Structure 1
Amino acid sequence: MAYHTRSNSFPSRPHPIIQEVDDHLCRLRSSEATSTSSSSVSHKLSDLHDLHDCVDRLLQLPLTQQALAQEQHQKWANELLDGSIRLLDVCSVAKDALSQAKECIQDLQSIIRRRHGDESAVLTSEARKYLTSRKTVKKVLHKALENMKSTANRSTFSSVHKEEVTIVSKLRDVEAITVSVFESVLSFISGPKSRPSSWSLVSKIVQSKKVACELEANVNEFAEVDAALKSLKSAHNQLNNLESCIQDQEEGLESLFRQLIKTRVSLLNILNH
């Protein structure tokens, strides 16, 4: 008599939630080549939130919890847990950078709105404060980008049957695409590299109605404000535009941050079960 043993590996047909994760990954990968405009970044953050919401549902599946709880797979689970804290750290860096920029922008807007002839020195001081803040933020963002790239692919899976790592490899794909989106976010906030400017131009923004400035072909809102501060006439409109963009990014990052925490808690619950 022939006996058939039931395989403990994952079924050949993926679970619907796994397929949903694949769909989200495909959508985000297809958007990687798009521009780093504010609308594009906001869209990526929204898609990334949906992906991590799907991941959290994937982590609630018994087959996922069984896979990650297995002793031979706990190393991978711990790596995913380490990755989750790195993603939260980068998300925090981006949130802090936006918050700092927003504060400086609101100070500038307030002074421009009530501008009088005797407030030239104050406006110049706030403009200098903003540009100095931008310089500091860029250094922080560049360091965060370098750290993220250096740690993103530092570990690999052992050689095992493909079916046994379906869930884990999918979660690693999620981590990789999340890193890619964060690179877009940090690059957007940092803005493209521009020629160094003299502080004398900053001091003249309150004395001249028009200062010649050279904008790059594909600037984003941050780069536009950096240049617009040399021309008071356009600075106010550009500041309003940038504040609106920052608001969208802050909301997207805050929502994503909460979802990343939720995912990390789910991973911790699995490992501590």
Structure 2
Amino acid sequence: MTEPHCHVRSISMPTRSHPITVEIEKILRTLRTSELSTRLKSETINVHLAGLIEAYNCIEDLLQLPLTQQGMSSRCHEKWIEDELNESVRLLDVCSTAKDVLLQMKDQAQDLQTVLRSRGSEADKQQKVRAYLCFRKKMNKNINKCLGELKRMDTTSVPTSLVSQDQHQEMVIKVVKEVREITISFFHTLLSFISSPALKPKSRKWSLVSKFIHNGKKGLEALETSIKDLETGLQCLFKRLIEFRVTLLNICTQ
């Protein structure tokens, strides 16, 4: 079976001079230079998340350009679009898992704070702390499964070579690929961050539960604040991932 022929369209304006291209290259440079590690504060992760959302905003604008729509609707890009649609589903699943985990963590942290602030008995508080620590342990198992999926995604290669030599379409594909890779890296860092131990006791003389009761209140308040900010950002990113998928599907139906 012969490969579909792709018509190369002339571009009156150089691709690199397009405002959208300039903007997304600027965002990608920032994201590259601010590469995340697993030892970060939630504020830094939120900044990176905001940059990632902006990158998807630019991708949406890029995909809506008539030049992009015309080029991507040709048969020679069907396989690339199909592969990206498959990867988008996997990213949406990971994002959904991260949102669910944060919601559960927030609810558990709020319940535990209520108990620790109450005038209840020490035994009741210890029981609640143990339940919270068991929840964190169970949650970390689910996160580890998600991290395994991210690792598999990181090794998945979506072909970037085109039959067409159209520079604009080549640029679009490379940008989408890089943003996807940055997204995978971000989720890996985020999930590693929220799965960090609930408490690291410095002294073996104190039980983990007792130390949590004495020192955990401030940490729970900080955790709740961090989660609220991350929840808002993840919800926005989730919407951008859906928009990206819908746009690709619309291109397929043209």
Q: Name the TM-score, length of structure 2 as normaliser.
A: 0.85
* Range moving further from structure 2, 263-272 or 26-35: 26-35
Given that 1:112 and 1:236 are in contact with CA atoms closer than 8 Å, whether structure 2 keeps it comes out as yes
- Distance in 1 (CA, whole Å) between partners of 2:240 and 2:45 is 18
Report % sequence identity. Answer: 38
**Cα gap change, 1:184 to 1:193, in 2 (>3 Å):** same
Stretches of structure 1 that go unaligned for 5 or more consecutive residues are: 1-5, 206-229
Q: CA RMSD in A?
A: 2.5
2:131 aligns with 129
- Distance in 2 (CA, whole Å) between partners of 1:157 and 1:266 is 19
Q: Aligned pair 1:38/2:39, yes or no? A: no
- Letter of the aligned partner of 2:22 in structure 1? Q
1:154 aligns with 156
- 1:232 CA drift (Å): 2.2
Equivalent residue for 2:82, pick from 78, 82, 86: 78
**Cα gap change, 1:245 to 1:148, in 2 (>3 Å):** same
**Cα gap change, 1:140 to 1:162, in 2 (>3 Å):** farther
**Cα gap change, 1:192 to 1:13, in 2 (>3 Å):** same
Equivalent residue for 2:67, pick from 63, 81, 86: 63
- 1:191 CA drift (Å): 1.5
Given that 1:101 and 1:130 are in contact with CA atoms closer than 8 Å, whether structure 2 keeps it comes out as no
1:187 aligns with 192
Stretches of structure 2 that go unaligned for 5 or more consecutive residues are: 1-6
Given that 1:102 and 1:246 are in contact with CA atoms closer than 8 Å, whether structure 2 keeps it comes out as yes
2:15 aligns with 13
- 1:201 CA drift (Å): 2.2
Given that 2:81 and 2:248 are in contact with CA atoms closer than 8 Å, whether structure 1 keeps it comes out as yes
Q: Aligned pair 1:242/2:246, yes or no? A: no
- 1:159 CA drift (Å): 6.0
- Distance in 2 (CA, whole Å) between partners of 1:64 and 1:7 is 12
**Cα gap change, 1:172 to 1:201, in 2 (>3 Å):** same
1:226 aligns with none
1:233 aligns with 214
Secondary structure of 2:35 counterpart: coil
